[in-house]
Structure 1
Amino acid sequence: MSLLLVATGDTMAHRAASVASGRDLLELAGPPPMRVVVEDVMAEPSWDTSVSTQLALARRVHKAIAEDEFTGVVVTHGVDSLEETAFLADLLAGSARGGIVFTGGLRPLSAANPDGPANLATALVAAADPALRGVGAVVCLGDELHAARWARLRDGFTSTPHPMLGRVVEGKVRLTSTPPPRPPVVGGEPETDVALLKTYPTMPSSLLTMVTDLGAQGVVLEGTGDGNVPVELFGTVMSLTQMDIPVVVASRAHTTEIGLVERMGAISAAGLPPEKARMALMVALGKGGGVAAALRYFGNL
């Protein structure tokens, strides 16, 4: 039995003049709960993490558990886009039964009180615990565990308005709420050319057509609290839907309602925040299928 540690550097590994390796971080974290295999991955800063890097990490997580038979996987990741990469890993994990834990640090190793080593130590304990097998990806900072679907960066991570998944207490995982349902399995290669646009009153429809003219195979729109988008976009949304380019609308308040634009063919993001709705649409289009595939996928999330 062993764990895989995938280290991507970023804030938790930053020293004054160097970046700590995964092995360095493991030594600083203290004795792990079981044998750990370390893999260092070159990655962009988390505020600029590419889709190709996110997909590579998600694939490695799945392979480590489904094929390489690791008990669990811990991925260290910069916090800026950690929730998106963790959710993508969750979407692609399928029925793989092993602990999948993403962690990071809010303060670098060069800080007077770095939090990365302690977060890593807790994440390793969580990944080794049988309680997380089959749960999907989780985010761990401090002693808190947040389901990847619900985790949001807010001066640390929170699951609000959903309950926190659990905690690590005295070396054991204690789940305090029911994990979200496992997402549908699509297969195929996720469609990486999916655009995300934040809407605003009087937004010109040319901004929407511009991204599809440039090749976007799907679009996520961030609407208001009730999921409404400007009326100026209605005709374009209908046209794109008729061209079999799905348009998913995510409410900035995480509601499932999307207002009148649903009559134009738009699809509800099922309560996902916009950036996660983009990850879900990428996966939904993994085998093509256009609007029908997206509608089916989000209807089953």
Structure 2
Amino acid sequence: MSKDSVRPARRRQSRISMRAIAVITLALCSFVINAAAHAAEPGKDAGAATNLPRVLVLATGGTIAGQAESRATGAYKSGQITGEQLVQSVPGLDKLAKLSAEQISSIGSQDMNDKVWFALAHRIQQAFDNNEADGVVVTHGTDTLEETTFFLDNVLKGDKPVVIVGSMRPATAVSADGPGNLYEAVQVAADPRSRGRGVMAVLNDKIEGARLVTKTNTTSIETFNSPNGGPIGYVDTAGGIRFMAQASGLKRATYDLPANEPLPRVEIVYSHANMDAVPIEDAISHGAKGIVLAGVGDGNTSKQALDALEQAAKKGIIVVRSTRVRSGFVTRNVEVDDDRYGFVVSEDLSPQKARVLTQLLIANGVTAPAKLQQAFTATW
């Protein structure tokens, strides 16, 4: 073979080798770029997942876990879907937090009781004390959601966020609101700005504080509001979380749970036209340690009922004046001489929340009217 024929062959081999090197180099670059991009996506690898906040979801049942035979019917059964199933059914939750779910109960919240309250309080406190979670979400029915929120706010110690969430439509309904509410609840529980704000309720793009939040409509998804103060923040998947003020930093008053449930018996007596003493006498006969009056107007009631409440107070039963009116404060010593009767006024607390606080105060040995009134006075 001549030298002239060898040279073109070598040049062809050289060009092939250069092409192979270029292909290999491009492949390596592509691998590195893809790997870097993959690592940059939150929740896509072990490193990113490790950095996500840890949120514990505690399920109690309620409409948010409800199922109906037909998507077109309003009839459904509460608490049919587990907490784990709820978590798995909402796309994108794993991008917000490292989630774990536990079932505390499977009931409609009309059946909420001290046993479930105690179980929730102990499990949440344990999770925080043992550094198992950075935040907690509790799925709950809406009927008594405000009472559970207020109860937990008064017994949990620490500043880590706890968010109560529910829905007005069952999970199987057309345009169910539960998945969106749960997503936003996890958003709030996972956000470090939520620390120090007490227990919160998150529904329908709003963040409500434990003291004021209440259910205001029987069926509408726009049902939870805080009549005397408004929401403490807003949340949506696009705009994120917007709190209306900085966390106050004030230490919340918290109370110890008794060794065993139930809490002391406290009855709510609803005032109305032509009111007599019978409901009050009935509460006393059944061993009530406290009576909350859902009074007319500024927490008032008929003379017969007031006389019966005065006798109850003289027997050592705690009497708290609240109001059946949705908004406004009950003012001390205006329409009723509270000092004379030995009564306490609920200020801005609804009858149902006044009942919860009265139970906790009695359980903690607080019975003097002055100390009771101090506990009811808003400090925010």
Give me the TM-score of the superposition, normalised by structure 2: 0.73
Q: Which residue of 1 aligns with 2:336?
A: 260
Aligned residues of 2:104 and 2:119 also touching (Cα < 8 A): no
- Give 3-state SS (helix, strand or coil) of 1:84's partner: helix
- The 3 A distance-change label for structure 1 pair 31 and 248 is same
1:295 and 2:369 correspond: no
Structure 2 counterpart of 1:164, one-letter code: P
CA contact (8 A) 1:46 1:78 kept: yes
Offset at 1:256? 2.5
- What code does the residue aligned with 2:365 have? G
CA distance in 1, matches of 2:257, 2:165: 27
Residue in structure 2 matched with residue 76 of structure 1 by the alignment: 139
- For residues 198 and 191 of structure 2, what CA distance do their matches in structure 1 show? 13
1:98 aligned partner: 160
1:178-189 equivalences in 2 (<5 Å): 183-189=252-258
Q: Of residues 149, 160, 168 in structure 2, which corresponds to 1:86? A: 149
Give per-residue Cα distances to partners, 1:58-94, cap 9 Å, x unaligned: 3333332244441100000001111111110111123
Which residue identity lines up with residue 9 of structure 1 in the other structure?
G
Moved more, 83-92 or 28-37: 28-37
SS in 2 for 1:38: strand
Measure how far apart 1:178 and its partner are.
6.0
Counterpart CA distance in 2 for 1:85 and 1:117 is 21
- Residue equivalent to 1:23: 84
Q: Is 1:163 aligned with 2:237? A: no
Contact 2:154 2:255 (C-alpha < 8 Å) held by counterparts: no
Distance apart, 1:171 and its partner CA: 6.5
CA deviation profile, 1:88-128 (whole Å, cap 9, x unmatched): 0111123x111110111111122111111111111001001
Cα RMSD (Å) of the superposition? 2.2
Shifted more, 272-281 versus 199-208: the winner is 199-208
Instruction: Give the residue type in structure 2 aligned to 1:260.
Output: V
Q: Looking at both structures, which has the greater relative contact order when contacts are Cα pairs under 8 Å and sequence separation is at least 6?
A: 1
The one-letter code sitting in structure 1 at the alignment partner of 2:171 is L
| Cα 1:60/1:261, change in 2 over 3 Å | farther
Give the 3 Å change call, closer, same or farther, for CA 111–300 of structure 1 in structure 2.
Answer: closer
Task: Structure 1: state its 5+ residue gaps.
Answer: none
Whether the 8 Å contact between 1:22 and 1:38 is mirrored in structure 2 is yes
Runs of 4+ with >3 A deviation: 66-69, 169-172, 177-183
Match of 2:177 in 1: 115
2:270–2:324 Cα contact (<8 Å) kept: no
The residue correspondences of 1:226-241 to structure 2 (distance < 5 A) are 226-241=298-313
Among 275, 289, 297, the residue aligned to 1:225: 297
Letter of the 2:361 partner, please give it: A
> Alpha carbons of 1:289 and 1:76: their partners in 2 closer, same or farther (altered >3 Å)?
same
Q: Highest CA radius of gyration, 1 or 2? A: 2
CA distance in 2, matches of 1:151, 1:62: 23
1:221-260: CA deviation from partner (whole Å, max 9, x where unpaired): 1011211121112222222222221100112333132521
**1:59–1:89 Cα contact (<8 Å) kept:** no
Contact 2:296/2:324 (<8 A) preserved: yes
Q: Cα gap change, 1:178/1:172 in structure 2, threshold over 3 Å: closer, same or farther?
A: same
Counterpart amino acid of 1:14? G
CA deviation string 1:121-161 (max 9, x = no partner): 11001001111111111110122100011111123211123
- Inter-partner Cα distance in structure 1 for 2:130 and 2:256: 16
Matched position secondary structure for 1:229? coil
TM-score (norm 1): 0.91
Deviating more after overlay: 183-192 vs 20-29: 183-192
Aligned-pair CA distance for 1:51:
2.8
**Structure 2 residue aligned with 1:280:** 357
Count the aligned residue pairs.
300
Could you tell me how far apart the structure 1 residues matched to 2:146 and 2:242 are?
21
Query: Matched residues in 1 for 2:131 and 2:110: separation?
Result: 30
Inter-partner Cα distance in structure 2 for 1:93 and 1:7: 18
CA shift in 2, pair 1:185/1:9, >3 Å:
closer
Distance across 2 between alignment mates of 1:157 and 1:182: 26
Q: Does 1:144 align with 2:206?
A: yes
Distance 2:280 2:227 in 1: 30
Once the two structures are aligned, what percentage of the paired residues are identical?
29
For structure 2, the 5+ residue unaligned runs are 1-52, 70-76, 218-222
Q: Is the 8 A contact 2:140 2:165 kept in 1?
A: yes
- What amino acid is aligned across from residue 211 of structure 1 in structure 2? A
Change in 2 beyond 3 A, CA 1:236/1:291: farther
Q: Give me the whole-angstrom Cα distance separating, in 2, the residues matched to 1:99 and 1:86.
A: 12
